[in-house]
């Protein structure tokens, strides 16, 4: 009677066969060396965003080159090479069914790939912990998603390669695999072409009984920022959410012709009150004097003080608000009277102010133009508190100091203009660079400018209807074609699962410091890896729905489709193996 072969024996046999095969050892060695490089890079590279750019290539190359070839080689080795050398026939002559042999071989393949991927996962994370002595949640998240994604990909690939190996020969199966491998690196090109084409596309909306036109990419940017802010998936997330909600609540707009424009007197008061409530500004009068007689070098000809040009003047003003310094804000946080929310907001504001002031070597000069909106004089019509005195002609009566004089004097100190008030720089140097240098005020204004462009767009979009003209039809058509194609782009829609579940380095999403209002959410994107892309969805009134950024199929759907296809491939391959002639 023939001895029954235990299942574990078949698995051990598979493992031993692989160990003897040099090609497997070479590719496994390359895979581990590649993983070691990523582990070392994770220790050296402190910026998560920069690390992710390299890690994405690791995901792409390790799965769709190294593991891809390993899976192909496994299928060919056991079901073509071992068939030819009669190894499979010898096993079958023992008391074991073909179905059982096929199942055990497949399990062996999965276990082999699981060991490889697990070693890689542990190598990256353990080395990082050993060298940095801390747990990196971001690294654990992306490597964990990679672990699951790589394992699933291997299962799907193995089932497919088993099928083509059993239906064809080595040459044909290799050609098919090569074609699939090559398409991996161009699978995301349709999306790139789509985005490039949308740069010139526009969408028109009916807003305030008039037609307003916005670029498609600008609308996407506005909705993307909304999503990131509401989900707290960007830097300074609490502060961003507070500013964003406040701007939308007050419906601020950038059009100077509208009553609710951002720079109207009533809205400036609302804005300063917002910062006051946050604890960064205090209503506290402060007297500032220019006691050294200083000559007026330039002045607007229409100004009331134009007749004093070339005369020496002094002045006294009373400022209405005090902008707390970083040190004062830090002291305030330790008083214990603030709520946890207030502390978080102040802490993030302090961090941003320190970041932006350190980023620019000439911070005050760079943002001199922002010294305007938040200039308030206490009792501004009182000439006793706010006046200019002519020292050259003392018989002249004092004039009321208008706050615009302070704005012009300050801005003209850094950037000369014949049409604005300009005094002798040397004599007002201390006044400008010390008494009127308020980093926190400039920081407030920078933050406002960051958000107002995007919130203005959202105010328009939330209170308007899309005009279904040729522009809209063109946009909708291109998106429909892309979405239809994407359903059958198996590589691309599977790759987006990694991006979706792995996420991005959200702490590195922030506005470009060199720009007045620009944030790029695609800086961490990989050219070859797809990410979920949504199409603007309209409601019954032709308004873009508030959460249109969720208008896409969950990538889990594509995983289930791929799993279904892999299952079908597996059973077809199994059925083919059961009928295979192993004696020839």
pLDDT tens, 315-368? 999 999 999 999 999 999 888 788 999 999 999 999 999 999 999 999 999 999
Contact (CB, 8 A) for 387 and 400: yes
Contact (CB, 8 A) for 239 and 352: yes
Kindly tell me if the per-residue pLDDT of 85 is higher than 90: no
State if pTM tops 0.75: yes
Kindly tell me if the per-residue pLDDT of 46 is higher than 60: yes
**How confident is the model over 477-495, as a mean pLDDT?**
91
Name residues whose C-beta falls within 8 Å of residue 561's C-beta, 6 or more positions apart in sequence: none
Which residues are bridge partners to 4 per DSSP?
95
Strands lying side by side in the sheet with 281-298: 399-400, 387-390, 312-323, 281-298, 422-423
pLDDT class of 380 with cuts at 50, 70, 90: very high
Where exactly are the structural domains of the chain?
A: 7-187+554-579
As a whole number of Å, the end-to-end CA separation of the chain is 26
Kindly tell me if the per-residue pLDDT of 515 is higher than 60: yes
pLDDT for res 91:
53
Residues in the chain: 584
Cα distance between residue 517 and residue 556, in whole Å: 35
Cα distance between residue 72 and residue 69, in whole Å: 5
Closest Cα partner for 372 from 408, 342, 322?
408
Kindly tell me if the per-residue pLDDT of 397 is higher than 70: yes
pLDDT for res 1:
44
- In the three-class reduction of DSSP (H, G, I as helix; E, B as strand; rest coil), residue 380 is classed as coil
Closest Cα partner for 28 from 105, 121, 117?
117
Distances (CA, A) of 129 to 135, 137, 144: 6, 11, 15
Contact (CB, 8 A) for 74 and 112: yes
Q: Residue 245 — φ and ψ, nearest 5°?
A: -65, -40
pLDDT class of 8 with cuts at 50, 70, 90: confident
Q: Residue 208 — φ and ψ, nearest 5°?
A: 55, 40
């Amino acid at each position: 009677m023939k001895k029954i072969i235990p299942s574990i024996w078949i698995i051990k046999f598979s493992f031993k066969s692989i160990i003897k095969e040099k090609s497997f050892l070479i590719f496994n060695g390359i895979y581990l060396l590649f993983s070691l490089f990523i582990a070392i890079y994770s220790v050296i590279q402190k910026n998560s965003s920069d690390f992710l750019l390299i890690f994405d290539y690791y995901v792409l190359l390790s799965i769709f080159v190294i593991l891809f070839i390993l899976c192909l080689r496994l299928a060919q080795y056991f079901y073509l090479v071992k068939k030819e050398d009669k190894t499979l026939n010898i096993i079958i002559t023992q008391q074991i069914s073909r179905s059982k042999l096929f199942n055990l071989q497949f399990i062996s393949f999965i276990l082999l790939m699981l060991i490889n991927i697990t070693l890689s996962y542990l190598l990256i994370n353990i080395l990082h912990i050993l060298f940095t002595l801390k747990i990196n949640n971001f690294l654990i998240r992306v490597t964990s998603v990679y672990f699951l994604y790589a394992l699933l990909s291997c299962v799907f690939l193995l089932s497919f390669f088993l099928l083509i190996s059993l239906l064809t020969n080595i040459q044909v199966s290799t050609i098919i695999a090569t074609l699939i491998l090559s398409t991996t690196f161009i699978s995301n090109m349709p999306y790139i072409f789509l985005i490039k084409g949308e740069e010139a596309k526009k969408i028109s909306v009916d807003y305030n009984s008039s037609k307003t036109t916005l670029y498609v990419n600008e609308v996407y940017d506005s909705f993307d920022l909304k999503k990131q802010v509401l989900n707290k998936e960007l830097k300074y997330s609490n502060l961003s959410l507070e500013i964003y909600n406040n701007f939308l609540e007050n419906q601020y707009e950038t059009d100077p012709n509208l009553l609710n424009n951002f720079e109207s007197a009533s809205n400036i008061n609302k804005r300063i009150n917002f910062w006051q409530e946050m604890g960064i500004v205090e209503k506290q009068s402060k007297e500032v004097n220019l006691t050294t007689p200083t000559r007026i070098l330039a002045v607007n000809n229409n100004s009331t003080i134009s007749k004093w040009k070339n005369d020496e003047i002094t002045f006294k003003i009373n400022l209405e608000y005090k902008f707390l310094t970083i040190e004062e804000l830090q002291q305030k946080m330790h008083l214990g009277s603030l709520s946890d929310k207030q502390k978080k907001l102040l802490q993030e504001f302090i961090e941003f102010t320190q970041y932006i002031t350190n980023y620019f070597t000439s911070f005050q000069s760079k943002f001199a133009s922002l010294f305007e909106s938040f200039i308030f004089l206490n009792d501004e019509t009182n000439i006793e508190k706010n006046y200019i005195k002519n020292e050259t002609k003392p018989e002249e009566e004092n004039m009321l100091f208008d706050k615009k004089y302070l704005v012009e004097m300050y801005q003209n100190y850094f950037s000369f203009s014949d049409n604005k008030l300009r005094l002798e720089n040397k004599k007002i140097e201390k006044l400008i660079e010390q008494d009127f240098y308020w980093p926190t005020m400039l920081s407030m204004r920078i933050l406002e400018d960051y958000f107002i462009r995007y919130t203005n767009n959202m105010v328009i979009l939330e209170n308007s209807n899309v005009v279904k003209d040729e522009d809209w039809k063109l946009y909708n058509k291109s998106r429909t074609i892309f979405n239809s194609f994407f359903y059958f782009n198996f590589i691309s829609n599977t790759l987006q699962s990694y991006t979706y579940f792995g996420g991005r380095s959200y702490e590195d999403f922030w506005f470009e410091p060199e720009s007045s209002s620009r944030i790029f959410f695609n800086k961490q994107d990989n050219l070859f890896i797809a990410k979920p892309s949504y199409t603007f969805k309209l409601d019954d009134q032709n308004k873009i729905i508030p959460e249109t950024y969720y208008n896409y199929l969950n990538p889990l759907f594509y995983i289930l489709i791929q799993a279904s296809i892999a299952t079908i491939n597996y059973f077809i391959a199994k059925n083919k193996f059961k009928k295979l002639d192993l004696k020839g």
